[in-house]
């Protein structure tokens, strides 16, 4: 019984040390961004959400990944993106890495284990929405973390000016 406790304790300490030196952050994907009006497809495993999942009808994780885009606020794309920027800058663990007038790429880092998720937003002028995609870099299951993050962003975004 004591040995099992020490093994679990050692595993926890090892995981925290690995996280602090960046071993759990993964690598930034080289294929993110907007190509032909599309964000990267959802992951092949249950660790991402995308408002464009419907564009991939045969995708094995389409049902799991599907999430609504953000609607434009009054005034259109520019004020909507400004409001989104303010929401993201106010979220703990979220860093904006790249921003253009129609695209925003951020990284969300967990507090203890320092996992990084890639979060993208693209202004879709044809549909009058901001398309969203959030995906974990590591692992095959996100336990709903990406969906919860996007829904928290949506709530703050819709509540703001």
Q: Quote the percentage of the chain above a pLDDT of 70.
A: 88
User: pLDDT grade, residue 19 (50/70/90)?
Assistant: very low
User: pLDDT grade, residue 59 (50/70/90)?
Assistant: very high
Q: Quote the percentage of the chain above a pLDDT of 90.
A: 77
Question: 96 CB contacts (<8 Å, ≥6 apart)?
Answer: 85, 88, 89, 104, 105, 106
**pTM score, whole prediction:** 0.87
**95-99 mean pLDDT:** 97
Report the C-alpha gap between 122 and 129 in whole angstroms.
8
3-state secondary structure of 37: coil
In the prediction, which pLDDT does 11 show?
59
Report the C-alpha gap between 55 and 40 in whole angstroms.
11
Report the C-alpha gap between 49 and 141 in whole angstroms.
12
């Amino acid at each position: 019984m004591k040995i099992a406790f020490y093994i679990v304790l050692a595993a926890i300490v090892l995981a925290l040390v690995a996280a602090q030196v960046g071993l759990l952050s993964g690598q930034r994907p080289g294929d993110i961004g907007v190509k032909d009006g599309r964000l990267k497809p959802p992951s092949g495993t249950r660790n991402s959400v995308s408002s464009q999942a419907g564009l991939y009808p045969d995708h094995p994780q389409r049902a799991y990944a599907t999430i609504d885009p953000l609607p434009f606020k009054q005034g259109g794309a520019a004020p909507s993106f400004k409001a989104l920027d303010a929401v993201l800058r106010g979220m703990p663990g979220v860093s904006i890495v790249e921003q253009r007038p129609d695209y925003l790429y951020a990284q969300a880092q967990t507090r203890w284990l320092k996992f990084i998720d890639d979060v993208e937003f693209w202004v879709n002028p044809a549909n009058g929405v901001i398309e969203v995609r959030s995906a974990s870099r590591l692992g095959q299951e996100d336990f709903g973390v990406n969906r919860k993050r996007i829904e928290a962003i949506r709530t703050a975004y819709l509540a703001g000016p």
